[in-house]
Structures are given as C-alpha cells and as structure tokens.
Amino acid sequence: MASPGKNPELIAAADEFAAAVKEFDGNPAEQMRLLKQADKLRFLLESPMDPIMKQWEVSSLIAAMHLLVESGTLEKIPVQSSITSKELATLVGIDESAIGLTTLSSKSLFADNLPNIARAFRLAVMHGIGVEAEPNVFAHNLKSQMYLRGGAVEFFRICVDQMRAFIQLPEYFKTHTHDDLYDLTKSPYAYSLGLEGLTYYEAISHDPERLRMFNMTMMQMEQSIPILGMFPFASLKEEVEAEPERPFVVDIGGGRGQCLIAIQQEAPNGFGSKLILQDRPDVIGSLTPEDIPNIETMSYDFFTSQPVKNAHVYLLRRILHDFYEPVCVKILKNIADAMGPKSRLVVADMILPEKTEVGAELIPYWMDFSMMMLNGKEKSRKEFEEILDESGFEIVKVWKYSFGTQAQIECRLKAA
C-alpha cells in the first residue's frame, strides 16, 4: 500500500471480488475475469518494491521448472503416489550435486549429498505446483501434471527458449537500427541464437526439436486463444452445400490443422466440401492422415501466389501478428488475388486495445512483446483497418469473443 491508513479503493475491490466469487460456478470466461480482479487486488496491496520481488520470484520459479522439466525429474514422480527426493535423484540418473550448483561449492554439496532436486521442487510447491506430502517426499498435483507432456509443457519450453532473446534485447538494440526490426532476417530471436540471416520460421526449423515444440505449442493454446465462438462457420452450411466444388475453408499457415479440426465440430466433414491446410513443407511433412481427418494438405509459401482460387473462406489465424504492416499487405494481396466475389477472408487475431487499462486481459501485451522477437506485432483495430483497406478488402463484421481481445475479422473484396 502506498501510505498507512485505510485504502477505500482496495476495500471496494475486495468487496467486488468477494461478491463475484460467491456467484462463481466454474465458467471459464468468468474464471479469467476473477483472476484479473485478483491481480487488481494484489496491485492495490503492493508496496513500490513488491513488483521487483515478484519478478524475481517468478524468474526463480521459471529456472526451477526449467531444471525439473529438462532433467526429466517430473516424469519420474508417480502420478498416483509420492516419492522421496533421494529416490527421485537416483531415478533421474543425475548426480544430485549437479543440479543448482552454479553458486555453491560442488565439493561440499556432493559430500553432504544435499538433495538439490528437492530445492527446485520446493520452489515449485510454493507456487502451488506439486506438493510436499511429508518432509522430502514429493507428489504431483494437477498443476505439476501440466508439465509432464503435451502442448502445455512444450509451450513452457518454447517460452524458456525465447527468454534468450528477451535477455539480449538491450544488446540487440545497441547493435541494430530501427529498420532492422522490419527485416525478417534480422529478428531478435534469430540474433539470440546466432542465426541472423534466417527468418524466425527458418530459425525454428533449424532444429527439429524446436520445430516440434513450436507446433505442439500452437495446438494447445485454445483455452486462452479460442478458435470457435466468433465467426459462425456453421451458418455457411447452405451456401457451401450449394457450391461444393468450391473449397470450404483454406487455412493458410494452419500449423498442424488445429483450426480445421475444431471447425469440423461446427461443420461436420466440411459440409461435403474441401478443407485445405496450407503450411511450410516441414510442418506439412510432419503430419499423418490420422492427425488431420477430412483435411487435404498443401505445402505452400504465403508470400507466393495463392493456388486455391474462389474458396468459400480463407482463414488467417495468428499469421498477421507475426509481421509488421508492409509484410501483412503482401500476404493479404496474395489472398485477394485468389478470391472470388463471394469468398470471405477471416482474420483471427487479437485486437490490441487503443489504451492500456490495468486489470484488462494481459495476453495481448505479452504476446505483442513476444512478437517483437520475430519482427511482428499485435495490432489495433485501426491498424487492421488500414492494412485490410490497402490490400483491397472491406470489413463485413468484427466477431469478438465473449471475453477479452480475441476476434475474427470477416472481410470481402471491396466492391469494384
């Protein structure tokens, strides 16, 4: 708190929070709203030094989780029971003293056989991730299980991978011009890996493990970045069935088909028309037909002419935020050239608020900062309007998600 004495703003926020908690029935959008309110309470309670302490707590947690994930430690903890830190260290096959030694004497630690893995785990437990059932006996809970396998842990790993670029930003800006951020081969990300000269996606593909991590991450983010619930794909049924020879949806840069799979919940089997997934050759090459039922694949570079003409819908999800405006216009013009008079373009991205409001959704802001690492940016409504207009589109409707900044912008070609 800024000064001693009662804080009416804090009391009002606490009352509001308590009332909302009593009404909470588990609804995911409401849960996100409540978390924001809890953040607001914390901001109001913090002293000026507290944010710095919080940052350090989170940095330490990230380092501890990185160690636990990359050493395979979490995988060795039984999901249904518990394990001692000593058993854990033996199972992981890592000398206990080899973990967390950078600031301590390895000799004395080794001699004392201090359970270093437990030190990382304890920090996790303090953040609600895992439990210490008894002294030095650890067990999973639902939060620690998120780090076991699947998209969530790959998201964690890709975030850690990007931290190298975060840390090097001051050095990047000292050694690069403003225009370098517009040069796709000079991203802070590629710079941080010593891979300048490659684009972000070439740098991702440079290491097959990194490419796998990235693709898995893109598949898992639906809870915070929804696919359905905005543009009404189901409403096109009659239109698509009337002209089935026109592909239904062309998902450009669609990754592992996550959107086209989700869209089939609303449009079973694409209403009898083609669902086409386009992406870079190594992403397409990593897919099996079982991964993407009812979906046709096509290796395609969206900087070249679009080969699928006159589809019902061209979908661009989380593509334009990877780039600055002039590059977006190039991608959009390739789509415009392929569209027929009745084709729609659906741009699915976040819309950055015009003004920063504390307590609003945080994702667009960390996402925007992350996009800077790869020569991209989140865009405001005005910025979307400008690039769409320049590329020959008019906006039909902005379909917003029920909460936050997610939106799908439905467009058509401008009338001639």
Ligand X SMILES: C[S@@+](CC[C@H](N)C(=O)[O-])C[C@H]1O[C@@H](n2cnc3c(N)ncnc32)[C@H](O)[C@@H]1O
Residue ranges binding ligand X (CB under 6 A): 201, 218, 253-255, 258-259, 279-280, 283, 300-303, 317-319, 322
Establish whether 66 is a catalytic residue. Answer: no
Instruction: Tell me the closest approach of the beta carbon of residue 326 to ligand X, in angstroms.
Output: 15
In 65-197, which ranges are E strands? Answer: 82-84, 131-134, 137-139
How far are the Cα atoms of 303, 315, 329 from residue 95, in angstroms, in the given order? 50, 50, 54
Instruction: Tell me the closest approach of the beta carbon of residue 152 to ligand X, in angstroms.
Output: 15
Nearest residue to ligand X, scored by beta-carbon proximity: 253
Instruction: Tell me the closest approach of the beta carbon of residue 280 to ligand X, in angstroms.
Output: 5
Please identify, using beta-carbon distances, which residue of 140 and 377 lies nearer to ligand X: 377
40 closest CA partner among 74, 12, 69, 71: 12
Please identify, using beta-carbon distances, which residue of 128 and 285 lies nearer to ligand X: 285
363 closest CA partner among 203, 216, 129, 159: 159
Q: Is the dihedral of CA 197, 318, 164, 101 positive or negative?
A: negative
Marked catalytic residue, from 178, 206, 312, 321:
321
Instruction: State phi, psi for 370 to the nearest 5 degrees.
Output: -65, -40
How far are the Cα atoms of 213, 284, 311, 378, 392 from residue 334, in angstroms, in the given order? 29, 20, 14, 21, 11
Please identify, using beta-carbon distances, which residue of 30 and 202 lies nearer to ligand X: 202
248 closest CA partner among 235, 258, 256, 317: 235
Instruction: Give the C-alpha separation, 190 to 187, whole Å.
Output: 5
Instruction: Tell me the closest approach of the beta carbon of residue 194 to ligand X, in angstroms.
Output: 21
Please identify, using beta-carbon distances, which residue of 65 and 218 lies nearer to ligand X: 218
Instruction: Tell me the closest approach of the beta carbon of residue 200 to ligand X, in angstroms.
Output: 8
Instruction: Give the C-alpha separation, 344 to 279, whole Å.
Output: 20
Please identify, using beta-carbon distances, which residue of 83 and 195 lies nearer to ligand X: 195
Catalytic residue set? 321
